[in-house]
Amino acid sequence: MSKDYSSPTFDEQDEYPKVTQSDLDRAIYRVGLKPGPRKRRVTILLDAGLIEHFKAKAGERGYQKLINETLRQAVEREELETTLRRVTREELEREDTESELQPASMI
């Protein structure tokens, strides 16, 4: 084996500009061709008991991921509750309207 061949190294500047945080902020994360979900770093103060609860429950998985999933489920439940309430109101209104339109002998 010969050690005579190696890739050339260059000490001169790259032809590509340096990537800055602002470049990364403007970037679109994609999964395939569709934009993927994006996470943002935040600082939040939580009760010590809450943090210990999530750490104990999460185990190897990571407590921050578990907190994220729990918050997402709460939002989805709220959206589901809102949708169910709207549908229920619409159905009740429809039934009231139909009963008002029927002759008294059919009721």
DSSP string, 68-80: HHHHHHHHHHHHH
In this prediction, residue 31 carries a pLDDT of 75
Separation CA 73–CA 67 (nearest Å)? 10
pLDDT of 35 higher than 80: no
pLDDT of 92-103, one tens digit each? 888 888 877 776
Q: In the chain, what percentage of residues exceed pLDDT 70?
A: 82
Per-residue pLDDT of 46-56, as tens digits, reads: 999 999 999 99
Domain boundaries, the chain: 44-106
Who wins on pLDDT, 46 or 2?
Answer: 46
CB atoms within 10 A of CB 51: 13
pLDDT at 3: 60
Q: What is the mean pLDDT of residues 74-95?
A: 90
pLDDT above 80 (res 43):
yes
Higher pLDDT, 75 or 38: 75
